[in-house]
Amino acid sequence: MIIREMILKDVPAVALIEQECFSMPWSEKSFCDSISREDTIFLVCEEELTDCGTHSPKERGGRIVGYIGMYLSFEEGEITNVAVSSSYRKRGYGQRLIQAAKDKAADRNIKSILLEVRKSNASAVSLYRRNGFEQVGIRKNFYERPAEDAIIMKVGI
């Protein structure tokens, strides 16, 4: 797997994963606007293609199977979205995306990262806990479609 910065040509594939995973998905324009900003980190995870070495990595490309986005403000990051296509879950992609985002944030002098997650999303909560995030609060009725509380989680880096 390859983790790299999201670029404009990635946006259609990322938007498809977003639609698959979220009831109120971001638009392609939202992703384009976000990746053009200096105060963000947006990464994609590519599944490496096997081609017996006949092409350079730049020529090969791979299928985008997940992504993560984070906004930065002073010494704090806020993860806006993390998603892995359903057919690629439970393979470590989410873990690698979170670690890569934490590493990139640390390189930019970020000291802590916050996120919100649906209270019912047990697999995501478990993933975040494995990555050092702890619950620091609840946002009542944060989500729509369906209405649900969000767990606020934070990690120091």
Give the Cα separation of 64 and 23 in Å (integer): 20
CATH architecture of residue range(s) 2-110: 3-Layer(aba) Sandwich (3.40)
According to the model, what pLDDT value does residue 95 have?
Answer: 95
> Can you give the pLDDT at residue 93?
95
Q: What is the pLDDT of residue 48?
A: 78
pLDDT at site 57: 47
- CA dihedral sign of residues 14, 10, 39, 154: positive
Question: For 41-79, what is each residue's pLDDT tens digit?
Answer: 999 999 877 655 544 444 446 899 999 999 999 999 999
Instruction: Please report the pLDDT score of residue 52 as a whole number.
Output: 52
The residue ranges of the chain whose pLDDT is under 70 are 50-61
**93: DSSP letter:** H
Helix axes 122-130, 93-107, angle to 10 degrees: 50
Q: What is the pLDDT of residue 59?
A: 47
